[in-house]
Structure 1
Amino acid sequence: MAYPLILGLLLLGLVAGVFSGIVGIGGGIILVPALVYIFGLSQHQAQGTSLGMLMLPVGILAVMQYYKQGFVDYKLVAFIAIGFVAGGYLGGKLAVSIPETLIKRIFALFMIAVAVKMLFFDKN
């Protein structure tokens, strides 16, 4: 695996972890769109990889189904998970110092941006 890809995956995990720590989002809202639009994975591959990163204990049965179909890349899972752990810690530390109203607005704006991208600018 190339170093720029590894660094990108670590950065993705870090960003998802920070957002997870701040507003409780990560897998479906950050990881899946980023894996599709930035890293070029199919929707199924992105969902399988996201589930693989979150696998134990919550998603083990779902991951097994995606894995059987070839949609989980454990190399990607490992690097994203490392970044996610670090980002979750940093995001959690930051979140406790941010007013709840601001966190709600950050969450809402991010979800709107992803929705607009998927609704109007998705090439598929």
Structure 2
Amino acid sequence: MDLYLPIANLSVNALVIICLGGVVGLLSGMFGVGGGFLTTPLLIFYGIPPTVAAASAASQVTGASVSGVVAHIARGTVDYRMGGLLIAGGVAGAGIGVGLFRLLQAVGQIDTVIALLYVLMLGSIGTLMARESVEALIAVKTGRRKPARKRRHHPLVAALPMRWRFYRSGLYISPLAPLLLGVLTGILTMLLGVGGGFIMVPAMLYLLGMTAQSVVGTSLFQILFVTMATTMMHALTTKAVDLVLALLLLIGSVTGAQVGTRISMAARPEYLRILLAFIVLVVAMRMALGLGWRPDEIYSVQLQ
């Protein structure tokens, strides 16, 4: 069943797009990640223009985050003070990202920059995940457990001035740290269409030193509002949000997440992590290959 995407200006098979969303939702349910960092590359592989893929993926992440945020609010695992600072930084970062996005569009390099950022980001994340997964598997096989890490924020965070108390997270740190982290995430969300949870969660744990109980809920709370702001900015400035595409992705991701959750309950976490690392590295290599691969048609005509 073919559907015309008005913003992408092409026809796609609706079932294929729903299946792509289902794959991302499946990974989200299996591995506990938002999956947004895989949505844009998969859409690009299918032939969606990178600008439309990134903008539409951000709106799909917004819809997919709602149920998770509601659940964590009910459990009381959201640090609203921390989340407010992350949101403020994220919205500011999205504003900076708008300027970068339009500048790169003007010079005709936005597609290349999106691909390069994904190669660097997925390559580094996949490598770190693979190393940690292998270490965890060796520990399980040998029966040696890694010593528990003492919860402590990074020395750079400790050096920042004007400390506040974040009671839900059990922290006494400068508000500048979450604010700057939010700015970085907002820029990435604007340029790449990702929720940023795959960067936010490790940073909140290892840089800010937050308790594990409040990290996921606070991260989802921030992602929901920052992706909403990003979608609005894209719609008003770049005009690259394709709501038909986002809706198809959302239908697939909601269904896939339910299946992935069931699988995750039956599989061992060590094997799940190494599988995710393998998938991320494969996508990164495919993106890198696309940067150097000579296309069949060197020139293309785009109607304005």
Q: TM-score over 0.5 for the alignment? A: yes
- CA distance in 1: counterparts of 2:36 and 2:275, whole angstroms: 17
Q: Which of 44, 57, 60 does residue 50 from structure 1 map onto? A: 57
Partner residue of 1:99?
268
- CA distance in 2: counterparts of 1:120 and 1:36, whole angstroms: 13
1:27 and 2:196 correspond: no
CA deviation profile, 1:73-112 (whole Å, cap 9, x unmatched): 0011111101100000100111111101111111110111
Partner residue of 2:235?
67
Greater shift in the superposed pair: 113-122 or 93-102:
113-122
CA deviation profile, 1:20-65 (whole Å, cap 9, x unmatched): 1011241112x10111111x12222111111111225611001112
Q: Is the 8 A contact 1:16 1:84 kept in 2?
A: yes
- CA distance in 2: counterparts of 1:115 and 1:7, whole angstroms: 25
Equivalent position amino acid for 1:42 in 2? P
Partner residue of 2:2?
2
- CA distance in 1: counterparts of 2:60 and 2:229, whole angstroms: 13
Larger of the two Rg values belongs to structure = 2
Partner residue of 1:114?
283
Partner residue of 2:132?
none
What is the Cα-based RMSD across aligned positions, in Å? 1.9
* Structure 1 runs (4+) greater than 4 angstroms displaced: none
Unaligned runs of 5+ in 1: none
TM-score normalised by structure 2 residue count:
0.38
Q: Number of aligned residue pairs: give it.
A: 122
Equivalent position amino acid for 2:261 in 1? G
1:14 and 2:22 correspond: yes
Q: Is the 8 A contact 2:26 2:256 kept in 1?
A: yes
- CA distance in 1: counterparts of 2:240 and 2:17, whole angstroms: 17
TM-score normalised by structure 1 residue count:
0.88
